[in-house]
Amino acid sequence: MSAITSNETTGSVKTTDNLKISQLIENELLKQNGKPFVSIEFYPPKKDVDIPKLFKALERLKAFNPLFADVTWGAGGSTSDLTMELCTKMKNEYNVVPNMHLTCTNVVGDKISKALTDAKENGITNILALRGDPPAGQDKWEATDLAFSCALDLIQYIRKEHGDYFHVTTAGYPEGHPNAMKVVTEEDGGLSSLSPSELKRYSTSKNKETGKEEILVCKDEDYKTELQYLKQKVDAGANCIITQMFFDVDVFLQFVDDCRAIGITVPILPGLMMIGNLGGFRRMTGFCKSRIPKELDEKLMAFEALPADSPDLKAKVKAFGIEYCVDMCNKLIASKKVPGLHFYTLNMSSTTIAIVEKLGYVSNSIKTDEA
């Protein structure tokens, strides 16, 4: 069963009202065809003129039967009204099951309460509960409402006030949460000081002030603490985990094994970010402190060494990014550890479509206009 079902009488599509992601995943698993479902994510555009573009991308991606579509929530609830409008329109006009992000960063309880009430009134039954990022221009996060200092508080509140009405998704961090990562200096012993498991998940980043490369890692004890916190969120009522983006499949698979080892049994969906352009990729991975495998980094540096006006450079980077993501997905599928593949679309459709088509997913529509 998909989030989208055919209407045999009219030829249109119809979404079953108020379906929860857990129900949809269970129905997908019953198919036992060995192929994970696809889910997608969008963010509220900063300009109203870009909203139609988002829905055009959704229309094209809908042809591949995404199980659900996430819509993010700006820091401090800055996009709360628009996020709600987008989710409602996805559900009512585009027949796609929405998964609405909800954060408690710089958000007072009344706003959270209203968001959940509005979601119920609009028939939105799926929430991704997050602490959230700092507001624009701030490096550190601070709680505005002392009742909500972390995602766990938000999940507990949802369950206390609304019982099992909502399917609740939470975030997972295969490399450890960025806030739990520490700089490893030469004085510390550098890479030689890391354990075998730390060597598999460390990342590198340039120091903003010195410009020098730094080694970042979530140390084993901190990683264990992060896993226990994730289990607390699941025990409090989270039904599913979607991970932070990653580019090392082995790190993700180890994360899944580590979760299972401590009793986390809910579905774990890999968050997949495509490599669209070099500058954007470096900024995003730097912000998230993502691990970039050596082979990937070397290929990207080879692109970066070329003159910016090199013929077809952007197209070559995009084509490489598609192939890299396809390879990641094939490894994830072969592992048989993922029920679905979750794509961060960046409000575009062509790259995601190119990837899923190469993976063998077939569109139910002949219309493939670019979004």
Angle between helix 80-93 and helix 109-121 axes, rounded to 10 deg: 10
Q: What is the pLDDT of residue 5?
A: 34
Assigned token pair, 272: 């997949």
* Ramachandran angles phi, psi of 249, nearest 5°: -60, -35
What's residue 142's pLDDT? Answer: 55
Structural domains present in the chain: 5-177+222-274+325-358 (3.20.20.220), 182-217 (no CATH)
For residue 167, give the nearest of 77, 99, 250, 245 by alpha carbon.
99
pLDDT score of 76: 53
Length in residues, the chain: 371
Q: Among 41, 175, 198, 226, which one carries the catalytic annotation?
A: 41
Residue 131 near residue 245, CB atoms below 8 Å? no
What is the structure's pLDDT at 19? 87
Active site residue 41: yes
pLDDT 10s digit of each residue in the chain, 371 long? 333 233 332 333 344 467 899 999 988 876 657 789 999 999 999 999 999 999 999 999 999 999 999 999 865 555 778 999 999 999 999 999 999 999 886 666 688 899 999 999 999 999 999 987 655 555 554 555 557 888 999 999 999 999 999 999 999 999 999 999 999 988 888 999 999 999 999 998 877 777 788 999 999 999 999 999 999 999 999 999 999 999 999 999 999 999 999 999 999 999 999 998 899 999 999 889 999 999 999 999 999 999 988 889 999 999 999 999 999 999 999 999 999 999 999 999 999 999 999 999 999 875 544 44
At 212 the pLDDT is 81
pLDDT at 369: 47
What pLDDT is attached to residue 148? 81
pLDDT at 246: 97
Angle at 272 between CA 270 and CA 275, to 5 degrees: 160
List b or e across 17-51, with b for residues whose CB sees 16 or more CB atoms inside 10 angstroms. eebbbbebbeebeeeeeeebbbbbbbbbbeeeeeb
pLDDT for the residue 8: 32
Q: Distance between CA atoms of 120 and 110, rounded to whole angstroms? A: 15
pLDDT for 78 = 59
How far apart are the C-alpha atoms of 175 and 181, rounded to whole Å? 9
What's the start-to-end Cα distance of the chain, in Å?
A: 27
Helix axes 313-335, 294-304, angle to 10 degrees: 170
Question: Given this model, what pLDDT does residue 134 score?
Answer: 53
Q: Are strands 213-217 and 182-184 parallel, antiparallel or unpaired?
A: antiparallel
